[in-house]
A and B are shown apart, each in its own frame.
Chain A
Amino acid sequence: MISSLLAGRRIAVTGATGFLGTALVERLVRAVPDCEIVVLVRPGRRTGAAERTAREIIRNDCFDRLRNELGDAFEGTIARRLVTIAGDVGTDGLGLSEADGAILASCDVVVHSAATVSFDAPLDGAVEVNLLGPSRVATTLLELAARHRPPGAPLPHLVAVSTAYVQSGRHGDAPEQPVADDRFFSLPDWRGEVAAARRARSEADGQSREPDRLAAFAKAARQELGAAGRSLLAERTERLRTDWVSDRMVELGRARAQALGWPDAYAYTKSLGEVALSQNRGPLPTTIVRPSIVESALAEPRPGWIRGFRMAEPVIISYARGLLRQFPGVPEGVVDVIPVDLVTAALIAVAAHPSTGTPDAPPPIFQVASSVRNPLRYGKLVRLCEEWFNERPLYDQRGEPIAVATWQFPGRGKVQGELRRAAKVLGLIERLASSLPVRGERAEQIVEIEERKALAERALGYVELYGSYTETEARFSIDRSLAFFSSLDPADQAEFCFDPGVVDWERYVTEIHLPSVVRHARVRTSPGKRVSGTREERARRAILSKEPHVAVFDLEQTIVNSNVVESYAWLATRHLEPLRRAQLTLSLMLEGPRLLAVDRRDRGDFLRSFYRRYEDAPVERVREDAWELFSDLLLTRSFPGAIQRVRAHRALGHHTLLITGALDFVVAPLTPLFDEIVCARLGEHDGRFTGEMVSTPPTGEARATLMEQWAARHGLGLSSTVAYADSTSDLPMLEAAGMPVAVNPEPKLAAIARRRGWPVERWARTAGGPRNLLAVATRRLGPRTTLAPKLTSPQEHR
């Protein structure tokens, strides 16, 4: 009996935070009552290994069944039977402490399931974990045994989890034999591959630091973020660089794998990992278990249990959402899927029966796969999915059902070609469109193009990544597994079944897997509007909650559809003869593009140079005219929604702050609207403006800092700040704010807001207002008919 064989044993598991590992730990705790489990967990950047165990393993819904069964005894049981040790299979010696080493040394069985399962992992990462990982575990176990175990004591049994797809290149029968024994396949020396992968990393890193490349990254960052300020741009540039290196490593991995005949870096590194392990395991009793594509549970711990979004899931969901209209594959091909509980059962059964072979013989291999015993045809899978989603469609954002496409089973090349072309065309449109000076709704339409491009690219990614898995012609035989299964006690066979013959595919796909996938994907499965509200709606509620907040507003395009150039044009034309007015207006219009370019480059520089135009303007007259400017330009072009929002904040007792590059006399009439205004101010001499700013309004990062200081002055933290802005030049402030709001965003900000889930306000001018295209004042002949009331001037920026 398996449970009695494992009773009193210590079983170590690596990769326990993964899909397979979690299922294995849970099953050991639940179905093998008297064993002790040691999980080797890599400490996170901020969390310790034990905390990761608690958070990522025990709290997973995998343990719900056990939690229910044990009730109050659950915590105690876990504490008694589960030990966490900190370690990393990507490091030689696993990075174990002395104490943890001793614990690992005391284990009777070690199941090594840690792996980089992503098919498009960077080459070096996959090499470190998948290729070298098993060997590291084996050598570490041998070293520990030498140090901690009495001579002659039995060595622990290493069960290494590999993948059936190490033989994916085969046509037809793929037996349970070492890859090295494949007569039709020549393997490279794994040591050479490791060295090459490590070298490739440092080369790619070097290339990424070439001046040309760095300039290209900086340019791309600027294209994405606009004038978002030095630090954000630098951060983004560095991200683009590391992403580039990472992408390069992915590309190298895929290229190397395909050059050697594997579909991807995963199968390639896993294959060589098996070879390396068999060479490095020494006298260690070792068994290799090769599952095929592991999918949601058939029954244990409950039907449909799955962790993470894996391989078939994103493809299925993309299909159901109407994003993936075609996927390559041959209908009569076989998709080798195996429910996770069959794999855990096989692992436990194998763990209980250490191999008895000699150290010289290659380790025994057990394949857990369905393609021979109970094949699932690709055509059938697709048909089941189509029927299922036709009956239970997903719903789009408007609550309309999404119709799924009927797959035509085209060739991979055709699908890839189509998707590549689509992505290219959409990319072109997006680049053209995002350079247009549009905002608000139109900008968001551009974001939609960008999203469709991203979807096309993602679909292409799926096709490139997984396409080969629907075309695999290898049939993974399970003769040894089945023989082993038959040799088990009938009670064990019932408890730990890993015979794929028990799976009823139709039932599995339609009643277990698809419902589970849909539940996991958090997609809309019912029509109509959401009751609970979207993330954006929740954000909106938080913004106008009764909690104390500080709300910071930008002015131009956030509250008014105007800018400093127009204010100047209006004030300057106020006292001019008609001809001179036309001249001035025309010259400003001609200058427009140049001014815009300067503004985009650096807001501060722009203001400084532009405000020189006020040199020699009579202070009193300008200040007085500004009151008409208020009505004629600011209010006329104001967004009532924005003004309502400022007032709503104040009504809730929030502190409101306007930060603008506009001049003090321009925004003076807005004083009663805000608690405080931070703006620019010009120097004065003999009743005339000097044209030099005496107080410079904060731009970029300085706004974020100011917002933080201002919040602190009111005893609040950044989490209580609401920031309203329209352009990426305010990105530092928006990023820093607890509740950022994009107002009539330009395309770049619209894209960022969409990705971050920031609420977007589409505040427009009211229909019915005057539409003066040019900011030209009606000529003034006398003084104002009533004097401007005594109003305090806005506070200048300190």
Chain B
Amino acid sequence: MSPRPGFVLEVDRSTPPTLFWHGENFRLERLPIGSRVVYPPEPLVPLADPDAAIAHALEHPLGDSAPLSALLHPGMKLTIAFDDVSLPLPQMEAPDVRARVIEAVLDQAAAAGVDDVVLIAALALHRRMTDDELRHALGRRVFDAFAPNGLLWQHDAEDPDAMVTLGETDEGELVAISRRAAESDLLVYVNINLVAMDGGHKSVATGLASYDSIRHHHNVKTMQHSRSFMDRHHSELHTSNWRMGRLIAQSLKIFQIETTLNTATFPDQFGFLNHREWEWGLKDRAAFHTVRAALDRTPAPLARQIFHSVRAPYRLTSVQAGEVEAVHEQTLDHLFAQQLVPVQGQTDVLTMGLPFISPYNVNSIMNPILVACLGLGYLFNLYKGKPLVRQGGVVILSHPTPWAFHPVHHPSYIDFFEQVLAETTDPLEVEKRFEESYARDPWYIHLYRTSHAYHGVHPFYMWYWCAHALDHLGAVIVVGGDRAAVRRLGFKPASTLADALEMAEDVVGRDPTITHLHTPPLLIAEVS
């Protein structure tokens, strides 16, 4: 039986309660009759032999590029950059796609007699990965070969000696990237394209760039004009990255490798997450009730630890290599083939259950700013065409939103939440008054460089990510969240979904249309 595509269910009398993610737990909610639930497509059948597919892609590049083997020669300087721990979500079962691809690339490099090879985790302004995370992403073999010899680097956007300025785009955007990458004879970038935003020119132009470069597209104006940033042809974020990427490509040979995964997001014991509620079998029901009962009795930190140790049984659906733009166009086709779900018309109220994870809290805690970003930045933007929710509509998020932060990973978030959001939640105001001081703060820079902290400016980006949604929406309501934290975000807290829907009526009027985004697994709504 071939996998079924995504699906929009209309809730009727016989519809069982709908599963909402709620952080490290779940809620079963009865949606009003007539509500719609958007389900993700079932996982596509993966490539039967991923290693062969990778080898094939390396030898049959797309666009204006020679095969990888032809680009390698003795005495050359080779740099392999790879996506960091923010992809995929959750982390996938070993072997990670990056490990497979990088091993294939290294095999060819060894065969070609290349001995100056450096691996760089393309952190941009993310936190440094831990050894365990690197070992998982790269596989033990690669890690053990490179790390002890100091050849496994993590991008340091604040090391003036390790960065180089390549110039400015026609729009005056400064382009500064990793010196090692820029001075290499070949840069291979290994992507996991979990969502449509990832990859393309953004890989290098953002992943290996400096704050002074990134600030040209990571800002409120750009984000408000990225509709959405999951739709690269309508995304100002990507347009800027493309300008920069083309400038980089003028002086640096890049061999882009992009990979797509299917939607097999959760292992068997969480099978109910992959299935639709009315199709839950005995096993799914038993699993759900067991998990719920266990989670209700588990302290939040332990539940978090359990969830973050979940490894996704993702499987490779495509791999393409070669010239950046040609590769990326095909990647998008593969992505949309897996994730696109057609939806008829917009809705007054959009509900979503937020899971325990977002790109920036892997092995960490989802703090309130990340809650906002996951809901209003990521999930809200999972659309092509028009947003799922109409202009002036309401988004209802379900998440416990604890007033809690990871002291090592998110130090500037703590201060941002306590000092910036206490003053204003308006993204433009936030940007104008506070960004510079956080971005240049020597203590945050120190923590970014030497510890495992996100850059001082990172919480600002999370807030800018929400800018389009904040601009578009009439109200945001959080169900079951810490009231103080939710208010600090500028949202409204509600105890139950029923209360939240009542509150939403004050904004959008009586008997609103309601749509629930049943994700993850991920999908992209193509709204007509």
Q: Which residues of A are in contact with B by a Cβ distance under 8 Å?
A: 627, 630-632, 635-638, 640, 643-644, 647, 669, 672-673, 765-771, 778, 780-783, 785-789, 791
B274 in the interface (beta carbon within 8 A): no
Q: Are B451 and A767 in contact (CB under 8 A)?
A: no
Q: How far is the CA of A673 from the CA of B445 in the complex (A)?
A: 11
Least CB separation from B302: chain A residue: A771
Neighbour of B144 across the interface among A637, A640, A770, A782, CB < 8 A: A782
In angstroms, how far is the closest chain A Cβ from the Cβ of B374? 16
In angstroms, how far is the closest chain B Cβ from the Cβ of A136? 67
B139 in the interface (beta carbon within 8 A): no
Q: Which residues of B contact A631 (CB under 8 A)?
A: 408, 451-452
Which one of B85-93, B247-255, B324-332, B397-405 contacts A?
B397-405
Neighbour of A635 across the interface among B403, B404, B451, CB < 8 A: B451
In angstroms, how far is the closest chain B Cβ from the Cβ of A703? 25
Q: Are A783 and B147 in contact (CB under 8 A)?
A: yes
Neighbour of B404 across the interface among A638, A767, A786, CB < 8 A: A767
Q: Are B301 and A771 in contact (CB under 8 A)?
A: yes
Q: How far is the CA of A789 from the CA of B446 in the complex (A)?
A: 9
B41 in the interface (beta carbon within 8 A): no
Q: Are A769 and B407 in contact (CB under 8 A)?
A: yes
Beta-carbon contacts of B131-144 to A below 8 Å, as 1s and 0s? 11010000000001
Task: List 10 A–B pairs whose Cβ atoms lie within 8 Å, in order of A's numbering.
Answer: A630-B451, A631-B451, A635-B451, A669-B446, A672-B443, A766-B414, A768-B402, A787-B150, A788-B450, A789-B450
Q: Are A765 and B407 in contact (CB under 8 A)?
A: yes
Beta-carbon contacts of B385-411 to A below 8 Å, as 1s and 0s? 000000000000000001111111001
Neighbour of B406 across the interface among A672, A769, A780, A789, CB < 8 A: A769
Which one of B8-16, B151-159, B338-346 contacts A?
B151-159
Least CB separation from B363: chain A residue: A770
Q: Which residues of A contact B447 (CB under 8 A)?
A: 635
Q: Are B443 and A640 in contact (CB under 8 A)?
A: no
B442 in the interface (beta carbon within 8 A): yes
Q: Which residues of B contact A643 (CB under 8 A)?
A: 411, 443
Q: Are B403 and A627 in contact (CB under 8 A)?
A: no
B449 in the interface (beta carbon within 8 A): yes
With A672-B442, A785-B153 as known contacts, state yes or no: A640 contacts B407, CB within 8 Å: yes
In angstroms, how far is the closest chain B Cβ from the Cβ of A766? 5
Q: How far is the CA of A635 from the CA of B454 in the complex (A)?
A: 14
Q: How far is the CA of A415 from the CA of B156 in the complex (A)?
A: 73
Q: How far is the CA of A640 from the CA of B414 in the complex (A)?
A: 8
Instruction: Contacts A636-B407, A766-B404 known; list 10 others, CB within 8 Å.
Output: A627-B450, A640-B414, A669-B451, A672-B442, A766-B406, A770-B301, A770-B406, A771-B301, A781-B131, A785-B153
In angstroms, how far is the closest chain A Cβ from the Cβ of B425? 20
In angstroms, how far is the closest chain B Cβ from the Cβ of A649? 13
Least CB separation from B131: chain A residue: A785
Q: Are A785 and B134 in contact (CB under 8 A)?
A: yes
Beta-carbon contacts of B440-482 to A below 8 Å, as 1s and 0s? 0011001101111000000000000000000000000000000
Q: Which residues of A contact B156 (CB under 8 A)?
A: 786
What 4 A-B pairs have minimum CB-CB distances, sorted nearest first? A768-B404, A767-B404, A768-B365, A782-B148
Q: Are A768 and B148 in contact (CB under 8 A)?
A: no
Q: How far is the CA of A346 from the CA of B408 in the complex (A)?
A: 77
Binding site secondary structure of chain B? mixed
Least CB separation from A651: chain B residue: B437
Q: Are B450 and A768 in contact (CB under 8 A)?
A: no
Q: Which residues of B contact A630 (CB under 8 A)?
A: 450-451
Least CB separation from A781: chain B residue: B131
Q: Which residues of B contact A787 (CB under 8 A)?
A: 150
Q: Are A669 and B450 in contact (CB under 8 A)?
A: yes
Q: Which residues of B contact A637 (CB under 8 A)?
A: 407
Least CB separation from B366: chain A residue: A768
Q: Which residues of A contact B334 (CB under 8 A)?
A: none
Q: Which residues of A contact B144 (CB under 8 A)?
A: 781-782
Q: How far is the CA of A768 from the CA of B23 in the complex (A)?
A: 13
Q: Which residues of B contact A635 (CB under 8 A)?
A: 407-408, 411, 447, 451
B367 in the interface (beta carbon within 8 A): yes
B128 in the interface (beta carbon within 8 A): yes
B115 in the interface (beta carbon within 8 A): no
Q: How far is the CA of A781 from the CA of B159 in the complex (A)?
A: 26
B415 in the interface (beta carbon within 8 A): yes
Q: Which residues of A contact B121 (CB under 8 A)?
A: 785
Least CB separation from A637: chain B residue: B407
Q: How far is the CA of A627 from the CA of B159 in the complex (A)?
A: 17
Q: Which residues of A contact B450 (CB under 8 A)?
A: 627, 630, 669, 788-789, 791
Q: How far is the CA of A673 from the CA of B451 in the complex (A)?
A: 14
Q: Which residues of A contact B408 (CB under 8 A)?
A: 631-632, 635-636, 769-770
Neighbour of B131 across the interface among A672, A765, A782, CB < 8 A: A782
Q: Are B153 and A768 in contact (CB under 8 A)?
A: no
Q: How far is the CA of A632 from the CA of B418 in the complex (A)?
A: 24
In angstroms, how far is the closest chain A Cβ from the Cβ of B49? 32
Q: How far is the CA of A627 from the CA of B451 in the complex (A)?
A: 7
Q: Which residues of B contact A767 (CB under 8 A)?
A: 402-405
Q: Are A644 and B147 in contact (CB under 8 A)?
A: no
With A767-B402, A769-B407 as known contacts, state yes or no: A786 contacts B153, CB within 8 Å: yes
In angstroms, how far is the closest chain A Cβ from the Cβ of B48? 35
Q: Which residues of B contact A783 (CB under 8 A)?
A: 147-148, 150
